[in-house]
């Protein structure tokens, strides 16, 4: 019996998104499904069993993307006439509901707890955030209840959605086995740390830059896109910028190279409601690469780091404490090296995609 035709679609993510393309779509294709991925962005260098289709619209402003790009992506996805549709952005909720009403199996992949995320959106006036958050949550619940299934990225988000749709599963965004597991000897590294991911105020870039200024012999490998041009200008104007190696958005090979150069991986996100229960992929990728982690002292993260002895937690709003923990870790190389090894072991034993993809396969089989 042939596996069903599957279409993943996204209006906000690039075709090579690690969760969507490299994990979910590729794993389903390897399991025998006929998989297409529709994105607004043009694909390049993606070779494999996943058929990548782009709408040609490319990058747009936030409002234009929500209003027009989402519709273009939906129209392209609908033409594929798949058996199962799997979408990845809140702005596509209305189109997921349309597909369900056309008799399709439809899965909503909730990467974030969006109502809580809205409360930290700098581009939404503070006075309106609570109202928008409440209204969106009601709408998201209304649609999610009527879809075939919901996939979420953390157990915390699952607890919310399972009250609405009993066919809800958490598929955590843990690393691919062996992808980043080519560690470099600690003795071969310089005094360099790294931060990889979205660069924004709520992700602690100001505090990290200020901590760097307190450590004159330290260099920061910074990879990702700034949330705004104004923030990039602000950070570039700081005194320590001359000790920042800024890569911008990087591919997977460049990512491995950054990890091999760095002694510590930084995840000092500020305590927003969305961050405190998240499972940031960057933390687990640092662990996979065998480098110790310095992360925010959220209860969930303290449990993960503490139980696996793979790093330390710190108040992310305090540059002096961040700098102190960096300095302490650099001054105790044997302890830091052991933390890195512990992180790799934890990835091999429990925090990896090989375990998570089985949940996805089971869901697809039930559909």
Report the half-sphere exposure of 362 (CA within 13 A, side-chain side): 11
Q: Model confidence over 255-311: pLDDT tens digits?
A: 999 999 999 999 999 998 889 999 999 999 999 999 999 999 999 999 999 999 999
Backbone angles phi, psi at 316, to 5 degrees: -75, -10
Residue 58 has what pLDDT?
A: 63
Consecutive H or E run containing 103: none
How would CATH label the architecture of 186-349? 3-Layer(aba) Sandwich (3.40)
Share of residues in the chain with pLDDT > 90 (%): 78
Look at residues 293, 117, 129, 99 and name the one whose alpha carbon lies nearest to residue 195.
293
Q: Is residue 216 scored above 60 in pLDDT?
A: yes
Is the confidence at residue 1, as pLDDT, over 70? no
Q: Helix axis angle, 299-308 relative to 333-349, nearest 10°?
A: 100
Mean pLDDT of the region 322-330: 97
* Partners of residue 266 on adjacent β-strands: 294
Closest CA to 198 of 248, 153, 242: 248
Considering the entire predicted model, what is its pTM?
0.89
Q: How many CB atoms lie within 10 A of CB 340?
A: 23
| Same fold for the pair 5-174+352-366 and 186-349 | yes
> Among 328, 266, 315, which residue's Cα sits nearest to residue 291?
266
What percent of the chain has pLDDT above 70?
A: 97
Task: Say how far apart CA 278 and CA 362 lie, in whole Å.
Answer: 24
Nearest to residue 71, comparing CAs of 28, 11, 114?
11
Output the pLDDT for position 41: 86
| Sheet containing 149-152: order of strands | 51-54, 34-39, 5-10, 84-87, 105-110, 149-152, 168-170
226: which 2 tokens?
A: 């700034």
* Residue of 295, 327, 336, 330 lying closest to 312 (CA atoms): 295
Q: Where are the domains of the chain?
A: 5-174+352-366, 186-349
Burial-class residue 348 by CB neighbours within 10 Å (0-12, 13-18, 19+): middle
pLDDT tens string 101-148:
999 999 999 999 998 888 877 778 888 899 999 999 999 999 999 999
Query: What CATH architecture applies to the domain 5-174+352-366?
Result: 3-Layer(aba) Sandwich (3.40)
């Amino acid at each position: 019996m042939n596996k069903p035709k599957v279409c993943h679609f996204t209006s906000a993510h690039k075709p090579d998104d690690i969760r969507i393309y490299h994990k979910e779509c590729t794993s389903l294709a390897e399991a025998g499904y006929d998989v297409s991925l529709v994105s607004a962005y043009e694909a390049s260098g993606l070779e494999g069993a996943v058929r990548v289709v782009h709408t040609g619209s490319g990058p747009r402003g936030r409002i234009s993307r929500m209003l027009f790009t989402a519709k273009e992506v939906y129209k392209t996805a609908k033409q594929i006439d798949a058996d199962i549709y799997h979408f990845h952005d809140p702005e596509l909720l209305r189109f997921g509901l349309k597909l369900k009403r056309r008799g399709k199996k439809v899965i909503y992949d909730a990467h974030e707890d969006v109502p809580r995320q809205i409360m930290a959106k700098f581009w939404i006036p503070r006075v309106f955030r609570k109202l928008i958050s409440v209204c969106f949550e009601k709408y998201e619940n209304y649609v999610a209840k009527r879809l075939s299934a919901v996939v979420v990225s953390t157990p915390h988000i699952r607890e919310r959605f399972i009250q609405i749709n009993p066919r809800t599963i958490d598929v955590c965004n843990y690393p691919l086995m062996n992808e980043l597991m080519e560690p470099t000897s600690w003795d071969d590294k310089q005094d360099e740390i790294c931060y990889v991911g979205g660069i924004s105020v709520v992700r602690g870039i100001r505090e990290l830059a200020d901590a760097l200024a307190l450590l004159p012999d330290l260099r920061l490998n910074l990879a990702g896109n700034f949330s705004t041009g104004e923030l990039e200008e602000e950070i570039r104007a700081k005194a320590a910028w001359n000790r920042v190696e800024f890569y911008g958005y990087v591919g997977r090979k460049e990512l491995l190279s950054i990890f091999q150069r760095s002694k510590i991986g930084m995840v000092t996100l500020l305590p927003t409601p969305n961050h405190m229960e998240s499972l940031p992929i960057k933390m687990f990728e640092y662990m996979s690469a065998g480098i110790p982690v310095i992360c925010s002292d959220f209860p969930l993260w303290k449990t993960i780091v503490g139980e696996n002895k793979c790093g330390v937690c710190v108040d992310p709003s305090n540059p002096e404490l961040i700098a102190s923990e960096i300095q302490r870790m650099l001054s105790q190389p044997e302890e830091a090296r052991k933390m890195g090894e512990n992180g790799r072991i934890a990835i091999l034993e429990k925090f990896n995609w090989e375990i998570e993809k089985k949940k996805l396969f089971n869901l697809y089989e039930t559909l």
